[in-house]
Structure 1
Amino acid sequence: MLARHQELSRRRPCGGTQPAPRQPHEATRPMSDVDVTRAKAGTSARRAAAASRRLKFFSTQRVGLHQLAYLRGLAEGLEGAELAKRYLGIDHAAQLARVHRETVELVRAVARRSGHRKWRLIGIEIPAAAPAPTDGAQALPTVSQWAEEQGLDDWGEDELLTLFQERFADQLARPPSDPQQARREARNQALREARLELLKDLQNTVVEAATPQDDVAAWFSGEIVRRLRVAGAVTLGDLQARIRRGGRWWRGIPAIGAGKAQLIAAHVQRLLAAAPAAALPADAPRCASLSEIGTAGRDLAALGRGGANRAPMREYRVLQADTDVEAVEAWLKVRCTSKKTRISYEREMRRFRLWLWGSRRHALSDATVEDCQAYIELLRAVPESWMSSRNVGPGEPGWAPFRTQPSVPSQQLAINILAGAFGWLRRTGYLQDDPWEAVNRRLGDADDDWESDDDVDDPTTRAFTPAAWAALVDQVAIDAAQPKTAAGAPRMAWLLQFCEATGLRADELLRARRGSLVQRDGLWRLRVVGKGRRRRRIPVPRRIIELTRSYFDSRGLDFNACDRRTPLLGATTATDQQITYSALSQAFKGLLRRAAVRLPPDDAQVLRGASLHWLRHTHGTRSAERGMSANDIQTNFGHADVRTATGYTRAQLRRRAELIEEAFG
């Protein structure tokens, strides 16, 4: 037994003290399971360091089947790199060494806590088994198998090994003249068997199957857990739902790109492959799956002929529609004066009708007050199964009604659109009553929603603060000196100043031409055709006209002599051509991201979430702060109702706080 103790003490546990570096003269040997702890030769120090900084995905608190499968494969002599790629999602040598060590340490700790006396066998180096016998030779049984066959279970280990060596001396890899080597190989075989039995027992006793309700901290390392939680993925179910949306689901998770996202998705798939779907809370709003609803066009087209809320006498109705589809189409034709408006209205109506039919088995003309209230609750927390980022059309595989959880302003807009549609259908006689009149359509009236109410009603919260505006202006100046951004800097400089002074909508700005700017009595005006094809004239300050002249000069155009059809805002490649909305939005988002680094973290996060429309809100806010009346703001904006402009008469929170501090501080 002393010899056995000395032999085991010479074996190095994986993850323990690091071995001395191999000397150049040492001969190479076949790869064993401990070799996976070493970075492969040829990897440069820089690549290895970069790889080691990648996320530590699989440092976990629990032992999973994938980890035991990896260790079992190593114990059976399979190639370590392939096992790590299959079971752990690791394909880089630097990662492989670290993750192997952490996996061994975790499983050994769990085995030790579970009372397994042989826990040290996990991860130790055991020389490979002797080569398999050649053709015609009889394969050796294991020591334990031979002892069981011979009825020698009660014999001591040393005695068994001696008898085994004598019985199979001719078949051992080493010649009979080397009994010590034969004894060592037999002992190694016994250790390999004991390790496999230990892993099998752990699989049956300590392995915990992952569930969607598990905290991500149980299956990921602390580094990635912090990043996932920042993005709202607290449980494995949250993360799985985000992945199932498709598209670039990892956007918004710090320091996660396409490559790391692929590893995370594969790991979640392994963990939850056999997990049951999470049950909805008992009080959750009923929302049928899209498979229950079917294709929207096929199932919803004929609905509404016998709707419970249909006006009874057709001859007295102004609208002569027979089905809900016909009625909705008539509403869209009357109310939508632009393609953009029609897309928005049609989308909200489609969502509501899909939910009505799939979850309540009601047509549009069957909708009740309870249906409307339940749909408002649905908008507050859209089920994950109803969201997808895949760029496909309605009814196509992978499509879902929502792309993300709607913000509070988006929820309010959807409610307003639906309420307006039902009001119109009632006024035209298609519906007998309007169920939306009986529900509270104003979001944020509840005590716990006061913050959302502020976001909905106060457009000044979506205006650039003075600090953010200064950061944008400074960033444009920096961009002008950088080769990569110099071409677009004049356009962005003009965009900021022109939109702050005029408050144009993005589509109005893109349609504006040189001929839209006219001078009368020494004053410049911009002729605009806005929403509802309403025409208006916006005064343009002389300073902005001079900036426009300079901007035209940067494009190689003469402001006074150029074609009247020349866009005010041009593309960088073809200066006399109109820029598209997507290109302008992308360029503006890039400016926001670059400028955000100049602000405190909270302000930077707000700035990164801004959009082109914030320029319009900024104009309204600055106009109100400088004494312009609500009626004048309404006229400049082209709003049909002056109440829409009254929101800008409230000073920004920062300005109000300064006034309160000055008065009472």
Structure 2
Amino acid sequence: MAIGFLDANMTSKDTATLPYPRRRGTERILGKIGRHHFAFFKGYLEGLDIAQLAHRYLETAETSSIHLRTIEATVKWIRQDLKLLAKRHGKHAVARIIDVSPAKINPPSPSVPTLEEFREEHDPYEMYSEKDLLALFEDTYSGGISEQKRIRNARLRKRQAEALAWLQMKTNVSPRPADLLEAWLLEYLVKQFKKVDILTVSDLATYVKANGPLWYKDVPRLGEVTAARISKWLWLYRDEIGTDVTVYDARAIRLIQFGLVPFEYFSPPTHLSGEIGSNRGDRNGSGANNDREAIVLWLQKLKDEDTTRSYRKEAERFFLWATIERDKPLSSITTADCLAYQKFLNDLGRVSDDYWNQTFRISQDSWMSDKKYERDSTYWRPFLSPFSIDAEGVKTRKRHQALQPASQKQALVIIRGMFRWMVKTGYLHTNPWDSASIPADRNKIDVSRSFTKEQWKIIRDEALSLPPSPAGARLRFIVMFSYLTGLRLHELARAKVSDILEETSITGGRRYFKMNVLGKGKKLREIPVPQVLIDELERYLRSRSIESLKAAPVDAPLVERIRGTSNPEAKKLKAQLEHPDRYEHDPSFVDEYLSRDAIYKLLKTFFQSLMLRFPGGSTDRAKFQAASTHWIRHTYATHALGNKVPLETVKNNMGHASVDTTSMYLDNDIAERAEHMENFADQLYK
């Protein structure tokens, strides 16, 4: 039977006491409305910033970040409780006025941006004429509401405020020290507190204050999120209760422990540490004394930051799975365990809970979070859930969120490599993965994720027709340069203009251009840059007020942020966080590189704008809707090979380690091969 693994301090001997499932982040802890709820709801009805209101007034804002769905769920139950209270007193009109959404009576009044700011948001590719853009700007910001409607709205707001004040008088809205907990908390919480002799609000406040941030550890079935909410509630009423309780951000409560926590916080008990693992080598030359130290040493041999992050993620997942799910140290894993992990990766997020619970000990929900959290957050989990849960608790499957076959294979290859290193250094005796065949990856590179020649012509023509403004010139350059170089997204984002050099051929004396590219694994490669791309680059540089390639500053980014459209303070903060060494020596330094995310969003939006040209349900429309930055790299490879560019040339330009990888692009055009076979088959009866 699968169990929820919540208490990070439990050992494997305690797992029999873990049938308690993880509670949803939207679940309430209070059985009745308090004064803080009235304050929150009043601000909500007045149209104030709901996130700021939540942080100030809600017990559910127990961390420095709060989900919108949690806020929406809280608004919903407050409104339902208030309506019920009004109806109990026969005030049906009060119930109706409380049910009116503030969006209906508080028209938005956004600050009016400049025309350039409006263009950056609504027309990044400058496809509108100045006249059309101005008309769109006026339509967006010149609207208003009639005076009659304004008066009606003001009257509705007044009636809502009066209704809320009347409701507040009809209920006891503040807890008192002698109040029994059942007067405020939900029944399931009251039962748990009774088990540790906490009966009143005063008992609870005293207990929390005396036991610090982990006060909840001795309360049965009480997790850190619910505990943080209770602490926040006690703090909101510290004056009435007479005990000043400290509120601890749940994100800050992150200890070195045994549980589903990030690698840097993970510490297995002695019997799972691997110090006496059954597969430990006789001649250990690694210097590691246990499994955790062995993983650290393996990661330290990696030089590339992105590779290290990827490898740590897979090692971390397998390490947690081995110790928590299989109750084994890493150095005792067998081939049977390896095969079980393959099934785990494949089933996670794909099968029903009933089916899962027949195979695995730990519930699959315990392994997954609803979104990506920072590693110091107590909400962090090793995997992302393929489901979303709304405020009503309805579970909906997200598309493509479970691990895809290619991702599963990558994980297994990384783990096998880690074990191979451990055997090579003598830390392990044998590699259990050698006998666990990894499923063949029939399409390691999904070469279908590329554009046909006809689709590329649409992209090219649209890019060439963009206006010669900074935004238009930048997008045109990104499209054309990406297509003729096949650069990866991160390679393009961190490239400098000075990476492009003019050289002279030793044999023929011909002048040509090349680009130095720092690729995966910090490997430097050289790629040729055709003259047509130099022309495109110089055209783009002129839009940046740089006369030519030779006149470009040494540190000039190849793809630059558009000056004047970004917040200078945000730029300064970004430089401090991402380039601390440079910022320390030069406080005026500002990172002008266009980020990977920004380039991705630009191209994604560009492709989706082209999607609208095609009818719904068409193949072309589906392709442009799905397309992303990496599609251009795939397209470069397929088109280059289709135009008889030598395989070795394409391999070196793309930075592939093996020609076998590049060869996959040769088989992309199945339609063309089908046509050839039809022509061949025609002779069968001739």
TM-score by length of 2: 0.50
Instruction: Flag the 1:75–1:656 CA change in 2: closer, same or farther, 3 A.
Output: farther
Deviation at 1:560, TM superposition (A): 2.4
Q: Aligned partners of 1:508, 1:294: CA distance in 2, in Å?
A: 32
Aligned with 1:320 (options 270, 273, 287): 287
Asked if 1 retains the 8 angstrom alpha-carbon contact of 2:513 and 2:531, the reply is: yes
Deviation at 1:577, TM superposition (A): 2.6
Which range moved further: 507-516 or 597-606?
A: 597-606
Instruction: Flag the 1:565–1:75 CA change in 2: closer, same or farther, 3 A.
Output: closer
Indicate the residue corresponding to 2:369 in structure 1.
388
Deviations 1:42-87 (A, max 9, x none): xxxxxxxxxxxxxxxxxxxxxxxx99x999998995527837988x
Asked if 2 retains the 8 angstrom alpha-carbon contact of 1:624 and 1:650, the reply is: no
Q: Aligned partners of 2:454, 2:406: CA distance in 1, in Å?
A: 24
**1:79 aligned partner, one-letter code:** H
SS in 1 for 2:267: helix
Q: Aligned partners of 2:292, 2:84: CA distance in 1, in Å?
A: 61
Please say if 1:589 is aligned against 2:633: no
Q: Aligned partners of 2:604, 2:367: CA distance in 1, in Å?
A: 27
Deviation at 1:562, TM superposition (A): 1.7
Indicate the residue corresponding to 1:566 in structure 2.
556
Deviations 1:128-173 (A, max 9, x none): xxxxxxxxxxxxxxxxxxxxxxxxxxxxxxxxxxxxxxxxxxxxxx
What are the within-5 Å matches in structure 2 for residues 330-341 of structure 1? 330-334=297-301, 336-341=302-307
Indicate the residue corresponding to 2:403 in structure 1.
406
Deviations 1:306-350 (A, max 9, x none): 112111x2xx3331211112211211121x222111111111111
Aligned with 1:604 (options 612, 621, 628): 621
What are the within-5 Å matches in structure 2 for residues 187-336 of structure 1? 293=260, 297-300=265-268, 303-311=273-281, 313=282, 316-334=283-301, 336=302
Deviation at 1:360, TM superposition (A): 0.5
Indicate the residue corresponding to 2:516 in structure 1.
527
Deviation at 1:292, TM superposition (A): 6.1
Q: Aligned partners of 1:545, 1:588: CA distance in 2, in Å?
A: 21
Aligned with 1:359 (options 325, 328, 336): 325
**2:305 aligned partner, one-letter code:** K
Q: Aligned partners of 2:642, 2:472: CA distance in 1, in Å?
A: 28
Indicate the residue corresponding to 1:79 in structure 2.
92
Asked if 2 retains the 8 angstrom alpha-carbon contact of 1:471 and 1:599, the reply is: no
Please say if 1:633 is aligned against 2:640: no
The structure, 1 or 2, with the larger RCO (C-alpha pairs under 8 Å, 6+ apart) is: 2
Aligned with 2:426 (options 424, 429, 447): 429
What are the within-5 Å matches in structure 2 for residues 103-122 of structure 1? none
Deviations 1:370-426 (A, max 9, x none): 222122222223234433244423362221111231222222221221121111221
Asked if 1 retains the 8 angstrom alpha-carbon contact of 2:274 and 2:331, the reply is: yes
SS in 2 for 1:528: strand
Please say if 1:495 is aligned against 2:461: no
Please say if 1:457 is aligned against 2:455: no
Deviation at 1:625, TM superposition (A): 1.4
Deviations 1:90-124 (A, max 9, x none): 99999xxxxxxxxxxxxxxxxxxxxxxxxxxxxxx
Q: Aligned partners of 2:427, 2:496: CA distance in 1, in Å?
A: 43
Deviation at 1:592, TM superposition (A): 2.4
Indicate the residue corresponding to 2:500 in structure 1.
517
SS in 2 for 1:550: helix
SS in 1 for 2:516: strand
Deviation at 1:633, TM superposition (A): 2.3
Q: Aligned partners of 1:391, 1:531: CA distance in 2, in Å?
A: 24
Indicate the residue corresponding to 1:473 in structure 2.
460
Deviation at 1:659, TM superposition (A): 3.3
Indicate the residue corresponding to 1:542 in structure 2.
531
Greater radius of gyration (CA): 1
Q: Aligned partners of 2:627, 2:644: CA distance in 1, in Å?
A: 25
Q: Aligned partners of 1:342, 1:441: CA distance in 2, in Å?
A: 22
SS in 2 for 1:537: strand
Instruction: Flag the 1:301–1:573 CA change in 2: closer, same or farther, 3 A.
Output: farther
Indicate the residue corresponding to 2:340 in structure 1.
374
**1:624 aligned partner, one-letter code:** L
SS in 1 for 2:418: helix
**2:607 aligned partner, one-letter code:** L
Please say if 1:344 is aligned against 2:310: yes
Indicate the residue corresponding to 1:439 in structure 2.
436
Q: Aligned partners of 2:376, 2:333: CA distance in 1, in Å?
A: 23
**1:505 aligned partner, one-letter code:** R
Q: Aligned partners of 2:295, 2:550: CA distance in 1, in Å?
A: 48
Deviations 1:511-551 (A, max 9, x none): 32222212223121112232233322211111111111111
**2:439 aligned partner, one-letter code:** R
SS in 1 for 2:447: helix
Asked if 1 retains the 8 angstrom alpha-carbon contact of 2:453 and 2:639, the reply is: no
Deviation at 1:561, TM superposition (A): 1.4
Aligned with 2:659 (options 639, 642, 647): 642
Asked if 1 retains the 8 angstrom alpha-carbon contact of 2:258 and 2:267, the reply is: no
Q: Aligned partners of 2:262, 2:522: CA distance in 1, in Å?
A: 35
Deviation at 1:294, TM superposition (A): 6.1
Deviations 1:14-42 (A, max 9, x none): xxxxxxxxxxxxxxxxxxxxxxxxxxxxx
SS in 2 for 1:488: helix
Deviation at 1:509, TM superposition (A): 1.7
**2:563 aligned partner, one-letter code:** T
Q: Aligned partners of 2:466, 2:318: CA distance in 1, in Å?
A: 45
Which consecutive unaligned segments of at least 5 residues does structure 1 have?
1-65, 95-289, 445-452
Instruction: Flag the 1:505–1:300 CA change in 2: closer, same or farther, 3 A.
Output: farther
Q: Aligned partners of 2:335, 2:423: CA distance in 1, in Å?
A: 15
**1:355 aligned partner, one-letter code:** W
Asked if 1 retains the 8 angstrom alpha-carbon contact of 2:460 and 2:480, the reply is: no
Instruction: Flag the 1:85–1:373 CA change in 2: closer, same or farther, 3 A.
Output: farther
Identity of aligned residues (%): 28
**1:633 aligned partner, one-letter code:** V
